[in-house]
Amino acid sequence: MDTLSAEIIGLERSALDRWITGDPQGYLNLYAPEVTYFDPFQEKRVDGLETMKTLFAPMKDNKSPITEPRYEMISPKIQRHGDIALLTFNLINYGKLPNQPETMLARWNSTEFYGRIDGQWKIIHSHWSFIKPEIKQAPKQPGA
């Protein structure tokens, strides 16, 4: 792995390590002021760092029932173009619910668009989605 890939993946892992314990501050520190964001729980795109802070604020008070959280980051890939580094990966979350053995909690597609701003790598766009969600009425293909 080259130096840039190692640096970007390291930033992402540091934010994830905090996130899975219920702490969003690692990601909030990485977001650029102009950040745009998609995840499966929002009605539409979320725009801007201040809106992200409001979105993640409840996490700090909500204690998760999950213990021993961990994740696998699968096939992280960097596509670099000048001062932009696009990181994509799949992610699997594991953890223990009360009185249960470890289980797989979720599987994700992850897009993190990093840009070098004032000498620091910041997330300019983030998109999280489920791998093959089992939904009630699934369309046959994207955009159709």
Touching a second copy, residues 6-65 (CB under 8 A): 16, 19-20, 22, 34, 36, 38-45, 47, 59, 64
- Token pair 């795109």: residue: 45
Q: Using CA atoms, how far apart are residues 123 and 31, in angstroms rounded to an integer?
A: 5
Q: Which of residues 91-130 bind a second copy (CB under 8 A)?
A: 91, 93, 95, 105-106, 108-111, 113, 115, 124-125, 127-130
Measured from the CB of residue 114, what is the shortest distance to a second copy in angstroms? Answer: 10
Could you tell me which residues come within 8 angstroms of residue 42 by beta carbon, excluding any fewer than 6 positions away? 55
Q: Which of 5, 14, 51, 88 forms a contact with a second copy (CB under 8 A)?
A: 88
Residue 18: other Cβ atoms inside 10 A: 16
Measure the CA angle with vertex 124, ends 134 and 3; round to 5°. 95
DSSP string, 48-77: SHHHHHHHHGGGGT---S-EEEEEEEEEEE
Residue 48 CB, shortest distance to a second copy, in Å, is 11
Nearest distance from C-beta of residue 86 to a second copy, angstroms: 6
Task: Please tell me the distance from the alpha carbon of residue 94 to that of residue 71, in angstroms, as a whole number.
Answer: 6
Least distance (Å) between residue 3 CB and a second copy: 20
| Chain residues in the site for a second copy (CB under 8 A) | 16, 19-20, 22, 34, 36, 38-45, 47, 59, 64, 66, 69, 71, 74-75, 77, 79, 81-84, 86, 88-91, 93, 95, 105-106, 108-111, 113, 115, 124-125, 127-136, 138-144
